[in-house]
Structure 1
Amino acid sequence: MTMFWIAVAVMAVLAAFLVGWPWLGKRFNSTVDVQGLNVALTRQRLDEMRREVSEGLIEAKDLATAEQELKLALAVEQQGQHLSGSASGSQWVLIIGLVLAVIVSAVSYWKANEIQSLQDWQTANSQLAELGRRVVVEADPSVTVEELQRFALALRTKLNAEPNAPEGWLLLGRLYASLSRLDSAIEAYEKSLSLEPERGGTLLSLSQALVMVGSDESLQRAKQILTKLQLREPDNQSSLGLLAITASQLGDKPLAIKSWKALGAMLPADDPMQVSIQQRIDELSEGAGTRLLVQVSISDALQGQLPEQGYLIVFARSSDGSMKMPAAVIRQPLASLPVEIELSDTNAMLPNYNLSSLTQAQVVARISLDANVETAPGELQGEIQLNVENGTLMRAEILIDKELN
């Protein structure tokens, strides 16, 4: 970086020297007072002409004409010298322009080559070992989002140089997932699996990311992965619980109930999770539990901005911001509005975090071009705050009335 600025300084000095050399050379050579010399020569010529008149060499009537012509020539010459002097003032304009050009060029180079990003990259690389120790070994809870981003950047750089490291790609995927960069996380998991296809932890992490994306396509893929993982590792409680959630999201109640029951049979009878599992089974079997009927409509001002193809996403989450993940979510292709959507505990993404677990909820209705819950500019949204009455059927109305930036 120091060499870059030295090079810029040298180039700027050289450019200034080359541009200014003609004017500097002209100043050095201008040792004679040209204007004074012209006046002296004119006076000398007038004296000679008066002497020639007195000697009879020229007539007196021609003297006046010659004097007028000489004075006119002197005036024209002096005017030319004045313009030349004025032109020398333009040197400062050229010099200022040169300085501005150098500044603009430096700023443009900075922006075009993302020097700040390069500095961040260098900082991240220098902190790779320290951040790895804090994040992986110590699981330091004081690690900030910025530090996770630097760790991910440095790890990605290292993997670019040493790509045949399945554990590294797995770690990178988990870092991206913690930063809500789900597409990047899925890509990293897939690279890890290309090197070690049967690694159970990677398959589970990939499935979690796919469930978080929440589209029908990603849920179906997660279901296939988890089903194969269960056949291979039938005692894997994490994959069984995630399979139950995935089946619930897809509306596959038989598979969801079967998975919840299998998970309950693995846990001790006094495990706190037993209550939540049984609640899920009852909801799937009878359709009971906390339910919310949401009537979704759109304002007249935004009616013309509805996409021809898109998704309507309706979800509820804790209004205190303690959990960004939805406690219940429904995604469906966009149809005519208004429309009524039912949210219930069966639409949860986690076994112990559902609509019934909330006391106050933020209920959001969003129109998106894809089925991803994450916000994107241009999406249309409306929301309300709601007190949740556990075990009851509630009703609410949401007007989609704003465009997200």
Structure 2
Amino acid sequence: MIEFWLAAGLLLLAALAFLLIPVLRGRKAQAEEDRTALNVALYQERLAELQGQRAANVLTDEQLQAGQAEAARELLADTEGVTGERVSRLGKALPLIAALLVPLVGGGLYLHWGASQQIAAMGEQPREPSMAEMTARLEASVKAEPDSAESWYFLGRIYMAQDRAPDAVKAYEQAVRIAGRAPELLGQWAQALYFANGKQWSESIAALTSEALQADPNEVTSLGLLGIAAFEGERYAEAIDYWQRLVAQMPAEDPSRASIQGGIERARERLLAGGETAPEQAAEPAKQAVNAIRVRVTLAAALQEKVQPGDSVFVFARAASGPPMPLAAKRLSVADLPVEVELSDSDAMMPQLKLSGFPEVQLVARISRAGNATAGEWIGRGQPIASTAQELQELTIDSADQAK
């Protein structure tokens, strides 16, 4: 915004110069005319003086002619370089009035027809949407596309973040209805039911966690929830077992790891205080190298004129066979394209859904002008690949985003 006003000020000074320079030049020309008139008057006086001296016989004819020639040479020297007489002149007041009116009229017209608000907006830094804005977008998305399991799932997540567990239960129920009874979805649904029921265990919660663990014995949400239920039911050995299985899957840098370890230690203390023997501490799992999928994202030439540099670009990997939610994702903008990114477990959107937990994944890149990760204008999809793929993957955004 500051750069705009500096440029506008320089242009204004240039416009004033066109008006004021003629005025200044006019004053200079007037001064030259006045000096020329004075020199002519002095020349005439000199001639009259010479003629008077000749009439009084003070000068001879030869001296008179010599004096007249000298006076003529002096007049020529004094008037040399002076321009001819001006035919017309600008009034003194008109240019000055115009110079004052230029900035005033120009500013008024700009405020009326200009784009100061748009220019100010261009200088504003983009901001992340608030929780309320994200919720409104997702609610509008599921209303427009009620069969989008991805949108229902993220809506459930955001409801849980807002302590709206009853609403989250409904959202997860819809996601399960559309995407199927994937263990990860069942675990999230059970957790929402637990909090919606005032942290009270129920048969429906037990049925969901049991089904999830039968399909995937390491489903982390169900393990954590069963550990909580066992601890509150004073079944401390069971709680330790569930939580140790959970910790074994958590990366060392996971912030939730410390709280789970604290729960295990409290359960051990309760067992020892009751005279029971606590289970042995589980061995720390060997740290494995984190595999990353490298992908180069490009934009099709046919779409170059249809997108804007500030449009959001979401690059993510999701299970080729499993829940529709992204396993790992990164957010960029159209201005960054083409770009090479890496997706790994460190980019997981939630601990229970990781790249390493699925044998095959599909790479997807979506452009969304509204900043909505679940729906946009343009999309590119890759073929299923192994989650351990090492070679660089190519992904081109080249088609309209119709499948929500």
Alignment TM class, shorter chain as reference: 0.3 to 0.5
With normalisation by structure 1, the TM-score equals: 0.34
Greater helix fraction, Structure 1 or Structure 2: 1
| Structure with larger Rg | 2
